[in-house]
């Protein structure tokens, strides 16, 4: 069940200006799996979904529209999603598709800090909290493709996964960067599977909720 609040302008007329009338709507709809099957990601080298001073932090429709064409091109190259990079240098790894992104290098978990280019996702925040509670070394800091490429070449890049409400956690099976492609073998007890299970268990009332995330709906 997907619960999606949204706002649309309803004022009659054609003009490039804020409307004076809006409608706030919440839809509840069954939804199919967001990221079905194996997901390989490629690092954006040309296109961007968000830029400094923009609205990349918000669920604004234009952010998603800008993703369709580059994602279509990536699909033709065998990738299902794109790792979005900063618009200036295409160096900093920021989001994956419509998810926040995490890298496991050796046993450390790294994710970019939020900014006006990155959505402050609830799943990201939950995973950071869970990882800290599990005693994992969590690093919230800018993360570059140079660093991740070097870690991959040394065999230190163990996992890359996306995090968002719709899919919870999506482990990526492959990562492409320029002429390099790295595959990740499916792992027992990966961080991704541990976080997904821990979050699902809290959501489905199967585990204690030490964080106070669960609310009883009466």
Span from 29-37, 97-105, 129-137, 140-148 in contact with ligand PLP (CB under 6 A): 97-105
Min separation Cβ 206 and ligand PLP, Å: 20
Min separation Cβ 207 and ligand PLP, Å: 19
Distance CA 67, CA 72 (A): 9
Dihedral angle, C-alpha 212, 96, 2, 198, nearest 10 °: -40
Residue 100 is a binding residue for ligand PLP (CB under 6 A) = yes
User: Can you tell me which of 71, 81, 98, 190 binds ligand PLP, judged by CB under 6 A?
Assistant: 98
Total binding residues toward ligand PLP, as defined by CB under 6 A: 12
Distance CA 134, CA 131 (A): 5
User: Can you tell me which of 94, 102, 112, 121 binds ligand PLP, judged by CB under 6 A?
Assistant: 121
- Which CA distances in Å does 100 have to 57, 71, 77, 170, 207? 11, 16, 22, 10, 25
Whether the CB-CB separation of 83 and 44 falls below 8 Å is answered with: yes
Taking the least distance from each CB to ligand PLP, the nearer of 70 and 164 is: 164
Q: Which residues bind ligand PLP (CB under 6 A)?
A: 59, 95, 98-100, 119, 121-124, 164-165
């Amino acid at each position: 069940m997907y619960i999606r609040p949204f706002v649309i302008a309803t004022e009659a007329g054609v003009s490039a200006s804020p409307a004076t009338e809006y409608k706030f709507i919440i839809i509840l709809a069954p939804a199919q799996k967001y990221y079905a099957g194996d997901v390989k990601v490629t690092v954006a080298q040309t296109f961007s979904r968000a830029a400094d001073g923009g609205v990349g932090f918000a669920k604004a429709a234009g952010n998603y529209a800008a993703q369709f064409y580059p994602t279509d091109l990536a699909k033709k190259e065998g990738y299902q999603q794109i790792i979005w990079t900063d618009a200036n240098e295409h160096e900093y790894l920021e989001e994956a598709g419509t998810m926040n992104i995490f890298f496991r290098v050796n046993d450390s978990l790294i994710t970019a800090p939020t900014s006006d280019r990155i959505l402050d996702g609830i799943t990201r925040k939950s995973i950071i909290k869970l990882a800290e509670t599990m005693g994992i070394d969590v690093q919230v800091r800018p993360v570059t493709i140079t660093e991740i490429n070097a870690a991959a070449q040394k065999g230190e890049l163990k996992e890359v996964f996306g995090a968002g409400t719709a899919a919870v956690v999506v482990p990526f099976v492959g990562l492409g960067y320029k002429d390099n492609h790295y595959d990740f073998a499916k792992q027992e007890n990966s961080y991704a599977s541990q976080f997904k299970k821990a979050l699902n268990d809290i959501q489905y009332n199967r585990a204690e909720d030490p964080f106070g995330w669960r609310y009883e709906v009466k």
